[in-house]
Chains A and B, each alone.
Chain A
């Protein structure tokens, strides 16, 4: 793809780790500042897509093979729903996190952190999966 341009390579090499770190910050700091699982997932996926655009999709596929992104996609929703099931098993309503720990605040905090993580996983998995599928289709057309 764009792998001949050394400026792009150097700059994106510098940028990708901070972008991923920022994604994680948005993920786990969403309780205190703006952000949350959805934004974090998109930021994380965009770092991945930037890598794929600059260094080639083959290298990116090595970093995140299709089974991994599909696993992320499904496990995020399962984690979200699972938290709900656990909270209803522990005596609260479905998705009532107050019963997850001894303290209401601790339980809410745990529940929110978990489901935000689930949202982040699903969003990142969905974006990367769609991107990789587009690339796969493009390649299949070039082969024909």
Chain B
């Protein structure tokens, strides 16, 4: 994964970058499977490696497949990224080790879900019970976000095509 990430950054051919990010998503899905989060792995493989690769390729077809050369080296982004990364790594030092049963996250609502969901909701898959029933509002919000995303794409570039056709003769579209 680290090798993939490094070559992602160094690569200039955006087509290869899209392919590598698909590979990166597949590797992430494998890690989720190893951590027993099958639902997350499923989503990562389908969305990260599948759909988003196709959409990125579509974007490349619309724009260009070679990265523009960076004109000058600016130190500010590098500083921000390094400081943020260092802070995040520093924060992980305080986190309990993976799978630690005494971690705070396992003592809030998780025991209630695990013990009661079969009785209160029913489905054997606790993830589904939490997503759809206990956290129904969140899932409704997520669905609305997806709807808004598609509506936004429609509003931004779905209509420009029609407008272009209408204004073809009166106003030539700048295209070089």
A residues contacting B by CB (< 8 A) are 26, 30-36, 38-39, 42-43, 45-46, 49, 53, 70, 73-74, 76-77, 80-81, 84, 95, 97, 104-105, 108-109, 111-112, 115-116, 118-119, 122-123, 125-127, 129-131, 133-141, 144
- Whether B55 contacts A130 by the Cβ 8 Å rule is yes
Q: Are the C-beta atoms of A49 and B140 separated by less than 8 Å?
A: no
Give complex CA distance A125, B137 in Å.
21
Any chain A CB within 8 A of the CB of B101? no
Question: B121 — which chain A residues lie within 8 A by C-beta?
Answer: 105, 108, 112
Q: Which of B105-152 contact A (CB under 8 A)?
A: 120-125, 127-129, 131-133, 136-137, 139-140, 142-144, 146-147, 149-151
The answer to whether B143 and A119 touch across the interface, beta carbons within 8 angstroms, is yes
Contacts of A118 in B (CB 8 A): 143
Interface residue ranges of B54-93 to A (CB < 8 Å)? 54-55, 58-59, 61-62
Closest-CB distance, A6 to chain B (whole angstroms): 22
B55 contacts across to A, CB distance below 8 A: 130-131, 134
A32, A35, A49, A133: the one contacting B153 at CB < 8 Å is: A133
Which A residues lie within 8 Å of B11 (CB)? none
Compute how far the CA of A74 lies from the CA of B144 in the bound complex, rounded to whole angstroms.
Answer: 9
Chain A's closest residue to B122 (CB) is A105
Give the complex CA separation of A80 and B151 in angstroms.
17
Q: Which of B38-60 contact A (CB under 8 A)?
A: 38-39, 42-43, 46-47, 50-51, 54-55, 58-59
16 A-B residue pairings within 8 Å (CB atoms)? A32-B125, A36-B127, A95-B136, A95-B140, A108-B133, A112-B129, A115-B132, A119-B142, A130-B149, A133-B153, A133-B157, A133-B158, A134-B55, A136-B158, A136-B161, A144-B175
> With A26-B42, A108-B121 given, can you name 4 additional A-B contacts, CB distance below 8 Å?
A30-B128, A95-B140, A118-B143, A137-B160
- Contact residues in A for B12 (Cβ distance below 8 Å): none
CB of B173 within 8 Å of the partner chain: yes
Q: What number of B residues sit within 8 Å (CB to CB) of A? A: 48
Closest to B38 in A: A34
Output the nearest chain B residue to A140 by Cβ-Cβ distance. B161
- Using a CB–CB cutoff of 8 Å, the interface residues on chain B facing chain A are 38-39, 42-43, 46-47, 50-51, 54-55, 58-59, 61-62, 120-125, 127-129, 131-133, 136-137, 139-140, 142-144, 146-147, 149-151, 153-154, 157-158, 160-161, 164-165, 173, 175
